[in-house]
Amino acid sequence: MSAQAPPRKRARKSSDPDSTPRLTRSLQYPAAIQSHSHSQPRSQPRSTSPVKSIPDLKATNLRLAYIPLSDALDDGLLDAGLHRLYTNELLECEMLTGVVPRPTRDCLDTLHRPPRLRDHNFRDDARPALDVQLELRDVREIEQRSLDTEAHIFPKDLVPRDSQGLLTESKLVDYCIFLRCPQLEPALLAALSAEQPLSVPQSANHTALVPLRYQPIAVSIETKTPSGNDDYARAQLAVWGSAHLERLRRLRRGARPPTLPLLLVSGVDWDLYFVRAADDGPAGGVQMLGSHRLGDTKSVVSIYKLLAGLRALARWAETEYREWWRELLAQTTTRNMSLPLAAVGGDGSSGPDSAPPDGADAETTLPDGRDPETTTATSHLSAD
């Protein structure tokens, strides 16, 4: 009688519902990166305090208050620019006003019955076809160049601490919309040099990630799987957003930092939040306002609605947010260089003949999903 081999056990799949969704295909990494990832010690004493939800942050020095967006609008808590964005553009997107490209009308009329799309739902896209193709190429590049790098909050004193003095877990986000404005880099470098010694990694943001050091972050985006914990994701955005506000406050002392948009992507749903400094100064803490359903990816029309909302956020970044940075750099340039910002040329030259800075482009990148050595500008969210 022959002995039968015991049945082979099925390998357990590791899964974390709160983890950020990653690409399913395997990626080839250099041997140096692979060996480095396995050389890290496994057991270390705890030096951070876990935070799983917004209420957990009450045990830290963050002093975070969560306010429903409807109450925030009634109390006038949104900055003027973001209030106009919400009432004039995002609510129009909610009603599908001008969000669908007109050339798709015949096709969509056959796909969506009921409701049938009306004339006011469509818009004319005057961009050349080449611009659209380039935008699609850049969007694909985000996926193709996604890697698991790390972008921690920097400096560490921006991270909230609990009652025992332990740092809360350094929360990350996955994407951001940022300002790319090479013409302002000389003035930005001067501002950072005045604010920090050259021995400290200088950054306009609350992270020292190389591709974003001189590209101001405007909108931070966190993604979760449908089975993920939204409370955990909101806490993640709150820690990241509060560190961002404090970084901006330090760069422009004496001025209140701007309210910042935050996006939480949970499965197919995209929800918009805002984070702002309380009106009574740094001692008053941080307020998180939310939320507004920017859109989802359940249908073609809802995707166009989402895209219209993202482009509206990009327009805010290119106008209101860029102006905040222009004022900051103008003050720093005048104070430290005795030279108005408009007289700083794109190549760093100065004088009355130097070209003034051009407008900034709003783009997206991956704070924790990109190789710092090879990162370039990725997806352009057109404001047209």
What is the structure's pLDDT at 362? Answer: 57
Ranges of residues in the chain whose predicted pLDDT is under 50: 9, 12-14, 23-46, 114, 148, 337-360, 364-384
**Is the CB of residue 100 less than 8 Å from the CB of residue 295?**
no
What is the structure's pLDDT at 47? Answer: 53
Q: Using CA atoms of 373, 155, 379, 322 in order, give the dihedral in degrees to the nearest 10.
A: -130
Which tokens is 139 given?
Answer: 């969007």
Domains of the chain, by residue range, sit at 51-365
**Is the CB of residue 369 less than 8 Å from the CB of residue 378?**
no
Strands 100-101 and 122-123: parallel
Query: What are the strands, taking DSSP E only, across the chain?
Result: 48-49, 64-68, 100-101, 122-123, 167-168, 175-180, 217-224, 260-266, 269-277, 286-296, 361-365
What is the structure's pLDDT at 41? Answer: 43
Q: Using CA atoms of 35, 41, 46, 50 in order, give the dihedral in degrees to the nearest 10.
A: 30
Match 């057109």 to its residue by tokens: 382
Strands 260-266 and 217-224: parallel
What is the structure's pLDDT at 145? Answer: 56
Q: What would the pLDDT profile of 227-285 be if each residue is shown by its tens digit?
A: 878 888 999 999 999 999 999 998 888 788 999 999 999 999 999 999 999 976 666 68
What is the structure's pLDDT at 97? Answer: 87
What is the structure's pLDDT at 62? Answer: 84
Grouping H, G, I as helix, E, B as strand and the rest as coil, residue 332 is helix
The amino acid present at 253, given as its one-letter code, is R
The amino acid present at 121, given as its one-letter code, is N
Instruction: Using CB atoms within 10 Å of the CB of residue 83, give its burial: 0 to 12 exposed, 13 to 18 middle, 19+ buried.
Output: middle
Q: What would the pLDDT profile of 323-338 be if each residue is shown by its tens digit?
A: 999 888 887 665 554 3
Phi and psi at 123, nearest 5°, equal -140, 155
**Is the CB of residue 108 less than 8 Å from the CB of residue 117?**
yes
30, 45, 156, 253, 377 from 48: Cα distances, Å: 30, 9, 12, 29, 33
Is 0.75 surpassed by the pTM of this model? Answer: no
Match 């209420």 to its residue by tokens: 55
